[in-house]
């Protein structure tokens, strides 16, 4: 294995190219169970026929865990949007439509997004009355059965050199309402500093076939609260604004 070209670096992983493979090497402290779960999720997505890099194997590199997948040459939607901001409308519509292809699939092996949201809200550190209201509201939302990516960020989808789309990084895959996954994505964009693009994504996502706009809006404060506990101070301020704005509107109704 020749790991001489770095593709990307994050706080948890470094991704290298090795010929026709991409090798994601995890930090030594990264939980083994999380690595194995990510590999299983990618394999499930591949078996469902979704456009993903082919899973190869879980192995070790210099005593650190690594996942090997098919290498795809191309650009992420984040890079394309940064390079061509004038094409934002078309790119975000294509990106949102790609996300909806995930929601067309079903997989009972994945955990429920409602359950994860409930656990995170309970341990969020938000005021008790707010936790109670959000938890009660969450209990009333439908438990969907659609496959959800769970971290559908602009950097987690790409187009290859020949124009084929691929969806990356399946560590947080779940099942539930596609609208919940959409609200999750909307907030991720806000947190990543793509506020204007997030609003444009929201508009485009809600125009797609089968999307329940009211359900999408109901999930925004739930998703914001679910992300609050692990966020830094700057991001918490943004999330709290989303929570309180939507919560105020709900109470006024």
Window from 19-23, 80-84, 159-163, 245-249 with minimum mean pLDDT: 245-249
Adjacent-strand bridge partners of 14: 9, 25
Q: What is the pTM of this model?
A: 0.93
Angle of CA points 210, 171, 45, to nearest 5°: 55
pLDDT-derived band at 247 (thresholds 50, 70, 90) equals low
> Which residue, among 70, 91, 69, has the nearest Cα to 79 in the 3D structure?
91
Percent of the chain with pLDDT over 70: 97
Calculate helix-pair angle for 113-122, 178-191, nearest 10 degrees. 50
pLDDT of residue 241: 92
What's the chain look like in SS3?
CCCCEEEEECCCEEEEEECCEEEEEECCCCCHHHHHHHHHHHHHHHHCCCCCCCEEEEEEECCEEEEEEECCCEEEHHHHHHHCHHHHHHHHHHHHHHHHHHHCCECCCCCEHHHHHHHHHHCCCCCHHHHHHHHHHHHHCCCCCEEECCCCCHHHEEEECCCCEEECCCCCCEEECHHHHHHHHHHHHHHCCCHHHHHHHHHHHHHCCCCCHHHHHHHHHHHHHHHHCCCCHHHHHHHHHHHHHHHHHHHHC
Residue 251 above 70 pLDDT? no
Residue 55 has pLDDT above 50, yes or no: yes
Average pLDDT over residues 64-79: 97
pLDDT for res 170: 98
If you average pLDDT over residues 224-241, what whole number do you get?
A: 95
Predicted pLDDT of residue 1: 80
- Into which CATH architecture does domain 74-252 fall? Alpha-Beta Complex (3.90)
Q: What average pLDDT does this structure show over 22-32?
A: 96
Q: What integer pLDDT is reported at residue 250 of this predicted model? A: 57
Cα–Cα distance, 226 to 78 (Å, whole number): 24
Q: Please say whether the beta carbons of 174 and 183 come within 8 A.
A: no
Question: What architecture is domain 5-70?
Answer: 2-Layer Sandwich (3.30)
Q: Which of 90, 73, 72, 69 is nearest to 81 (CA)?
A: 90
**pLDDT value, residue 252:** 47
CB 52 within 8 A of CB 167: yes
- What per-residue confidence (pLDDT) applies to 22? 96
Q: Where are the domains of the chain?
A: 5-70, 74-252
Rounded average pLDDT over 134-146: 96
pLDDT, one tens digit per residue, over 3-18 is 879 999 999 999 999 9
**What is the average pLDDT across 89-102?**
97
pLDDT tens for 147-204 read 999 999 999 999 999 999 999 999 999 999 999 999 999 999 999 999 999 999 999 9
- What does the mean pLDDT of the chain come to? 95
Residue 172 to residue 177: CA distance in whole angstroms: 15
For tokens 């061509």, name the residue: 84
Q: What integer pLDDT is reported at residue 244 of this predicted model?
A: 85
Residue 246 has pLDDT above 90, yes or no: no
Burial 85-123 (b: 16+ CB within 10 A, else e): eeebeebbbbbbebbbebbebebeebebbbebbbebbee
């Amino acid at each position: 294995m020749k790991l001489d070209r770095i593709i990307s670096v994050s706080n948890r992983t470094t991704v290298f190219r090795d010929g026709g493979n991409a090798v994601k090497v995890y930090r030594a402290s990264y939980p083994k169970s999380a690595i194995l779960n990510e590999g299983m999720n990618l394999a499930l997505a591949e078996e469902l026929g979704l456009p993903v890099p082919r899973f190869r194997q879980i192995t070790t590199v210099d005593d650190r865990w690594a996942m090997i997948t098919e290498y795809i040459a191309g650009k992420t939607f984040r890079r394309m949007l940064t390079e061509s901001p004038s094409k934002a409308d078309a790119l975000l519509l294509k990106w949102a439509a790609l996300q909806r292809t995930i929601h067309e699939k079903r997989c009972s092996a994945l955990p429920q997004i409602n359950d994860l949201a409930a656990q995170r809200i309970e341990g969020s550190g938000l005021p008790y009355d707010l936790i109670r209201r959000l938890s009660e509201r969450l209990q009333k939302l439908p438990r969907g059965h659609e496959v959800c990516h769970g971290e559908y960020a602009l950097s987690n989808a790409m187009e290859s050199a020949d124009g084929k789309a691929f969806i990356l990084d399946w560590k947080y895959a779940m099942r539930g309402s596609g609208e919940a996954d959409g609200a999750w994505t909307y907030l991720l964009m806000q947190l990543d500093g793509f506020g204007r693009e997030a609003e444009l994504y929201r508009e485009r996502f809600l125009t797609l076939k089968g999307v329940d706009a009211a359900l999408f809006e109901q999930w925004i404060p739930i998703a914001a609260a679910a992300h609050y506990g692990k966020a830094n101070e700057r991001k918490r301020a943004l999330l709290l604004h989303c929570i309180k704005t939507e919560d105020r509107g709900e109470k006024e109704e």
